[in-house]
Amino acid sequence: GGGGSGLRMSSNIHANHLSLDASSSSSSSSSSSSSSSSSSVHEPKMDALIIPVTMEVPCDSRGQRMWWAFLASSMVTFFGGLFIILLWRTLKYLWTVCCHCGGKTKEAQKINNGSSQADGTLKPVDEKEEAVAAEVGWMTSVKDWAGVMISAQTLTGRVLVVLVFALSIGALVIYFIDSSNPIESCQNFYKDFTLQIDMAFNVFFLLYFGLRFIAANDKLWFWLEVNSVVDFFTVPPVFVSVYLNRSWLGLRFLRALRLIQFSEILQFLNILKTSNSIKLVNLLSIFISTWLTAAGFIHLVENSGDPWENFQNNQALTYWECVYLLMVTMSTVGYGDVYAKTTLGRLFMVFFILGGLAMFASYVPEIIELIGNRKKYGGSYSAVSGRKHIVVCGHITLESVSNFLKDFLHKDRDDVNVEIVFLHNISPNLELEALFKRHFTQVEFYQGSVLNPHDLARVKIESADACLILANKYCADPDAEDASNIMRVISIKNYHPKIRIITQMLQYHNKAHLLNIPSWNWKEGDDAICLAELKLGFIAQSCLAQGLSTMLANLFSMRSFIKIEEDTWQKYYLEGVSNEMYTEYLSSAFVGLSFPTVCELCFVKLKLLMIAIEYKSANRESRILINPGNHLKIQEGTLGFFIASDAKEVKRAFFYCKACHDDITDPKRIKKCGCKRPKMSIYKRMRRACCFDCGRSERDCSCMSGRVRGNVDTLERAFPLSSVSVNDCSTSFRAFEDEQPSTLSPKKKQRNGGMRNSPNSSPKLMRHDPLLIPGNDQIDNMDSNVKKYDSTGMFHWCAPKEIEKVILTRSEAAMTVLSGHVVVCIFGDVSSALIGLRNLVMPLRASNFHYHELKHIVFVGSIEYLKREWETLHNFPKVSILPGTPLSRADLRAVNINLCDMCVILSANQNNIDDTSLQDKECILASLNIKSMQFDDSIGVLQANSQGFTPPGMDRSSPDNSPVHGMLRQPSITTGVNIPIITELVNDTNVQFLDQDDDDDPDTELYLTQPFACGTAFAVSVLDSLMSATYFNDNILTLIRTLVTGGATPELEALIAEENALRGGYSTPQTLANRDRCRVAQLALLDGPFADLGDGGCYGDLFCKALKTYNMLCFGIYRLRDAHLSTPSQCTKRYVITNPPYEFELVPTDLIFCLMQFDHNAGQSRASLSHSSHSSQSSSKKSSSVHSIPSTANRQNRPKSRESRDKQNRKEMVYR
Find the CATH number of the domain harbouring 518: 3.40.50.720
Q: What is the pLDDT of residues 15-26, one digit of tens each?
A: 333 333 333 333
Question: 631 lies in a domain?
Answer: no
User: What's the rounded mean pLDDT across residues 368-383?
Assistant: 83
356 and 254 co-located in one domain:
no
Identity of residue 121: T
What pLDDT band is residue 415 in, cutting at 50, 70 and 90?
A: low
Alpha-carbon 120 to chain mean position: 80
What pLDDT band is residue 965 in, cutting at 50, 70 and 90?
A: very low
CB 1186 within 8 A of CB 1173: yes
Three-state secondary structure call for residue 153: coil
- How many C-beta neighbours within 10 Å does residue 7 have? 21
Listed in sequence order, the residues at least 6 apart from 230 whose beta carbon sits closer than 8 Å to its beta carbon are 254, 255, 257, 258
What pLDDT score was predicted for residue 767? 31
Of 220, 249, 271, which one is at a domain's C-terminal end?
A: 271
**pLDDT greater at residue 1131 or residue 1197:** 1131
Alpha-carbon 119 to chain mean position: 82
CB 794 within 8 A of CB 1046: yes
pLDDT-wise least confident of 65-74, 663-672, 1100-1109, 1169-1178: 1169-1178
**Sign of torsion, CA 1052 1056 1058 1059?**
positive
What pLDDT score was predicted for residue 420? 94
Of 497, 525, 553, which one is at a domain's C-terminal end?
A: 525
Alpha-carbon 653 to chain mean position: 32
User: What's the rounded mean pLDDT across residues 1105-1121?
Assistant: 92
Does the pLDDT of residue 663 top 50, yes or no?
A: yes
Does the pLDDT of residue 986 top 50, yes or no?
A: yes
971 and 1019 co-located in one domain:
yes
Listed in sequence order, the residues at least 6 apart from 1077 whose beta carbon sits closer than 8 Å to its beta carbon are 626, 848, 1047, 1158
**pLDDT greater at residue 902 or residue 764:** 902
User: What's the rounded mean pLDDT across residues 655-675?
Assistant: 74
Does the pLDDT of residue 164 top 50, yes or no?
A: yes
Q: What is the pLDDT of residues 174-188, one digit of tens each?
A: 888 888 887 777 777
What pLDDT band is residue 954 in, cutting at 50, 70 and 90?
A: very low
Q: Angle at which helices 319-330 and 343-373 pack, to 10 degrees? A: 70
321 and 258 co-located in one domain:
no
Of 479, 507, 525, which one is at a domain's C-terminal end?
A: 525
Q: What is the pLDDT of residues 841-859, one digit of tens each?
A: 999 999 999 999 999 999 9
What pLDDT score was predicted for residue 158? 82
Three-state secondary structure call for residue 789: strand
326 and 469 co-located in one domain:
no
Question: 864 lies in a domain?
Answer: yes
Does the pLDDT of residue 641 top 90, yes or no?
A: yes
What pLDDT score was predicted for residue 913? 67
Which domain does 1013 fall in, by range?
789-1024
CB 681 within 8 A of CB 715: no
Q: Angle at which helices 127-150 and 193-215 pack, to 10 degrees? A: 130
CB 419 within 8 A of CB 388: yes
Report which secondary-structure segment, H or E, holds 966: none
Pick from 776-780, 965-969, 1134-1138 the range whose average pLDDT is largest: 1134-1138
Give pTM, 2 decimals. Answer: 0.68
Closest CA to 1154 of 1086, 1102, 1119: 1102
DSSP code for 971: S
868 and 1015 co-located in one domain:
yes
144 and 218 co-located in one domain:
yes
Three-state secondary structure call for residue 826: strand
Q: Give the helix, strand, coil percentages of the chain, each rounded to 5.
A: 50, 10, 40
Three-state secondary structure call for residue 917: helix
- HSE (CB half, 13 Å, CA atoms) of 363? 21
Burial (Cβ within 10 Å: 0-12, 13-18, ≥19) of residue 71: middle
What pLDDT band is residue 1070 in, cutting at 50, 70 and 90?
A: confident
Question: 914 lies in a domain?
Answer: yes
Pick from 436-450, 1036-1050, 1193-1207 the range whose average pLDDT is largest: 436-450
Burial (Cβ within 10 Å: 0-12, 13-18, ≥19) of residue 108: exposed
What pLDDT score was predicted for residue 97? 82
What pLDDT score was predicted for residue 450? 93
Does the pLDDT of residue 132 top 90, yes or no?
A: no
Q: What is the CA radius of gyration of the chain?
A: 47
pLDDT-wise least confident of 838-852, 888-902, 910-924, 1133-1147: 910-924
CB 588 within 8 A of CB 635: no
CATH of the domain at 368: 1.10.287.70
Question: 848 lies in a domain?
Answer: yes
What pLDDT score was predicted for residue 1129? 67
Burial (Cβ within 10 Å: 0-12, 13-18, ≥19) of residue 749: middle
What pLDDT band is residue 136 in, cutting at 50, 70 and 90?
A: low
Listed in sequence order, the residues at least 6 apart from 37 whose beta carbon sits closer than 8 Å to its beta carbon are 10, 31, 61, 62, 63
Instruction: Could you list the beta-strand ranges (E) of 398-526.
Output: 418-424, 443-447, 466-470, 501-505
User: What's the rounded mean pLDDT across residues 724-741?
Assistant: 37
Question: 305 lies in a domain?
Answer: yes
Q: What is the pLDDT of residues 968-979, one digit of tens each?
A: 444 467 888 889
Q: What is the pLDDT of residues 490-522, one digit of tens each?
A: 999 999 999 999 999 999 889 889 988 999 988
Question: 715 lies in a domain?
Answer: no
Question: 350 lies in a domain?
Answer: yes
**pLDDT greater at residue 821 or residue 707:** 821
What pLDDT score was predicted for residue 137? 67
Question: 633 lies in a domain?
Answer: no
Number of separate domains in the chain: 6
Report the share of the chain in percent with pLDDT over 70. Answer: 73
Q: Which is it for strands 53-54 and 184-186: parallel, antiparallel or unpaired?
A: unpaired
- HSE (CB half, 13 Å, CA atoms) of 1210? 6
Q: Which is it for strands 184-186 and 246-248: parallel, antiparallel or unpaired?
A: antiparallel
Q: What is the pLDDT of residues 680-689, one digit of tens each?
A: 444 444 444 4
Mean pLDDT of the chain: 76
Does the pLDDT of residue 987 top 50, yes or no?
A: yes
206 and 82 co-located in one domain:
yes
**pLDDT greater at residue 997 or residue 769:** 997
User: What's the rounded mean pLDDT across residues 1154-1177?
Assistant: 55
The rounded distance, in Å, linking the Cα atoms of 1103 and 1114 is 6
Q: What is the pLDDT of residues 326-349, one digit of tens each?
A: 898 888 787 878 888 888 888 998
353 and 455 co-located in one domain:
no
Q: What is the pLDDT of residues 573-587, one digit of tens each?
A: 998 898 988 899 998
767 and 913 co-located in one domain:
no
Does the pLDDT of residue 361 top 90, yes or no?
A: no
pLDDT-wise least confident of 126-130, 197-201, 412-416: 126-130
231 and 286 co-located in one domain:
no
User: What's the rounded mean pLDDT across residues 384-396?
Assistant: 92
CA geometry: angle 781, 783, 785, nearest 5 deg: 165
Instruction: Could you list the beta-strand ranges (E) of 1012-1112.
Output: 1017-1019, 1064-1065, 1079-1084
410 and 357 co-located in one domain:
no
964 and 857 co-located in one domain:
yes
pLDDT-wise least confident of 309-313, 479-483, 755-759, 931-935: 755-759
Does the pLDDT of residue 781 top 60, yes or no?
A: no
